[in-house]
Structure 1
Amino acid sequence: MGNFFKLIQNENMKIYLRIRTWIMFGIIVILPIIISLLVYGFSEDISMTNWTVMIMESYALFFFITIFTVVIASETVAGEFSWGTIKLLLIRPWSRSTILLSKYIAMILFALVLTITTFIVCYLVNLAFFGSGDTIDVILSNDESVWTYVLQYYLLKFVGLIMIVTFGFMMSAAFRSSGLAIALSISFLFAGNIITTIFALAEKAWVKYVLFIHLDLTPYLSSDGETSLIPGHPTTLGFSLGVLAAYFIIFNAISWIVFKKRDITA
């Protein structure tokens, strides 16, 4: 087990020793400051609270978090082939499954660190600009605190993030080119909203099993656990999580099968 943790540590070092990783963190830190400064200086809405601005900033920042993590995920396996380091990795006394799992865990940890950093920065920045408050521009359930709502918001956003990143990881395992894996994964991210809108217009029952429909789970926060992601076909949070779990298993199964069978001599 100790060797496995060292393997995860090695994957983390590959991520955090690169300058671009710290540029990503710099963007996550600077953007909330800029947005809060603009809202504070130019907004005429005197009812704007620290929590309301925090949710607004978080919505935008999760877009950047997703792109940053997708870039890491898309090259975590494909990059080893692009750089020619895959042979050095596989001659060590670890199975392919162990190596793949360590890469996936390191990628999830990176997504988690970015998310926690976003939460802390957004909270502190808006606390400084707007002071502490206990209201937010949404309808809360009975006895639900603002803290509970915001933490649930981040948790549901993180679930969607993990699904997109897992797709990127699958693309990384499927292709030798990290550039191609990144391009396909980011296309997947941008195409999601378009496909969701098109499928929503279809109003067919089968559409509720499409992955893109369930990537944003935050509508459930204001609907007591049930909403109509597709007009005329109500869904529950449990149903959406079940659909995501099925795709999650499929994506990881494909990653494992492709990586196990891949020829590294070419």
Structure 2
Amino acid sequence: MAKLLKLLQNEWMKLWHKKGTWVMVALLVVLTAGMMGLTKWIDTQRTDSMKQVGNASVEVSVGEQADWKASMEGELAGVRAQLADTSLTKSERKELEGEEKVLDYRLSNSIEPLDQFSREAMIMDPSGISGTVLLLAVIVAAGIVAAEFSQGTVKMLLTRPVKRWKILTSKFIAVNLFGILLMLIGYIVLVALAFILFKSGDGQYLVWNGKEVVEGSIWGKSFYMLLLSFGSVFVTSAFAFTIGSVFRSSSLAIGLSLFIYFMGSTVTMLLSRYEVAKYILFTHMDLTQYETGYQMVEGISLPFSLAVLAVYVVVFLVISYTTFVQRDVKA
């Protein structure tokens, strides 16, 4: 264990001594700030348009209230229509019944939902930063092993009096620690700008706790969404790590990983009508789908997705370790 920790420390120091690492951090901050700035601009344009609807602020207020109530009534009707389906699983029915309780409670007590451009809404859904973090983490994961071959340092690395699986483990852990750190940095920037750029909303975040409708925790939901959004970062990084260590090519690893990221949803949509769609990697990459309610494949749940992803990650790592441990040191 001591040797593994020493290796991990060395990998971490090597990673942060690279100029490119700090460029990645700066890029993450800039892109996150840009995303929040663009969102604020959209909110400003929307607010200006709403003010032009009526000459009096009372008319605008009444119109807004009618809009959200009509939207909630439509959602409630849709949920009740889904509940009429006798083929629903127990977990699906339970989730829909919770949604029904919340929607009915809002309408009965005139409690509007949080505005999508409110400070609370921005904080509750930090999943937007995962795309940038994924791209940066993939670059590191793809090159952390492949670079040893391209730079000619692999022979010295593998001839050290340390088991090869420990060397690979230290690199894999370093990659994921880097991804976690990027997620935290992006999250801090997002929250800070949410407080600076956006006003607190008048609505409430409500949840069904199994017994009654209560006000939910904004920060609890925020951290949960952050954790779910890290799933795609972790799995894609594991894939890039495998390709880079097996084929010794960081460019190939980055290219294939980006293909999975950008084309995954398209492949899932094309295969959604077939049973095989439940077992392909692309279907389960975005774990936030269970919170947003947008699922392209029916009949899957969060535990099922986690199980499928775990199998894929284990397969990736078995391939990586087998290849790395058995590789000729003179290669």
1:189 equivalent among 261, 266, 272: 261
The code of the aligned residue for 2:2 comes to G
Aligned to 1:112: 180
How far apart, CA to CA, are the structure 1 residues paired with 2:15 and 2:226? Answer: 23
Contact 1:51/1:135 (8 A) holds in 2:
no
* Paired residue secondary structure (1:264): coil
* Paired residue secondary structure (2:262): helix
Aligned to 1:206: 276
Shift in CA distance, 264/91, structure 1 to aligned 2, threshold 3 Å:
closer
Contact 2:142/2:249 (8 A) holds in 1:
no
2:287 equivalent among 212, 217, 225: 217
The code of the aligned residue for 2:281 comes to L
Contact 1:49/1:135 (8 A) holds in 2:
no
- Whichever of the two has the greater Rg, that structure is 2
Aligned to 1:249: 314
Shift in CA distance, 155/31, structure 1 to aligned 2, threshold 3 Å:
same
The code of the aligned residue for 2:120 comes to W
Aligned to 1:158: 230
Cα distance per residue 1:190-249 (max 9 Å; x no partner): 22122122112xx122210111000001121255xxx8541xx31111111111111111
TM-score in terms of structure 2 length:
0.72
Shift in CA distance, 153/42, structure 1 to aligned 2, threshold 3 Å:
closer
Task: Quote the sequence identity (%).
Answer: 34
Shift in CA distance, 187/42, structure 1 to aligned 2, threshold 3 Å:
closer
Contact 2:124/2:221 (8 A) holds in 1:
no
Count of paired positions:
257
Q: Shift in Å at residue 253 of structure 1?
A: 0.7
* Paired residue secondary structure (1:234): coil
1:49 equivalent among 107, 110, 118: 118
Name stretches of at least 5 consecutive residues in structure 2 with no aligned partner: 48-114
Shift in CA distance, 177/35, structure 1 to aligned 2, threshold 3 Å:
closer
Shift in CA distance, 209/129, structure 1 to aligned 2, threshold 3 Å:
same
Task: Find runs of 4+ consecutive structure 1 residues off by over 4 angstroms.
Answer: 131-136, 138-142
Summarize the alignment of residues 10-159 of structure 1 with structure 2, pairs less than 5 Å apart: 10-43=10-43, 44-46=45-47, 47=115, 48-54=117-123, 58-131=126-199, 140-141=207-208, 142-143=213-214, 144-159=216-231
How far apart, CA to CA, are the structure 2 residues paired with 1:122 and 1:135? Answer: 21
Contact 1:139/1:222 (8 A) holds in 2:
no
Shift in CA distance, 38/229, structure 1 to aligned 2, threshold 3 Å:
closer
How far apart, CA to CA, are the structure 1 residues paired with 2:276 and 2:160? Answer: 46
Shift in CA distance, 196/80, structure 1 to aligned 2, threshold 3 Å:
same
Q: Shift in Å at residue 27 of structure 1?
A: 1.6
TM-score in terms of structure 1 length:
0.88
Q: Shift in Å at residue 132 of structure 1?
A: 5.0
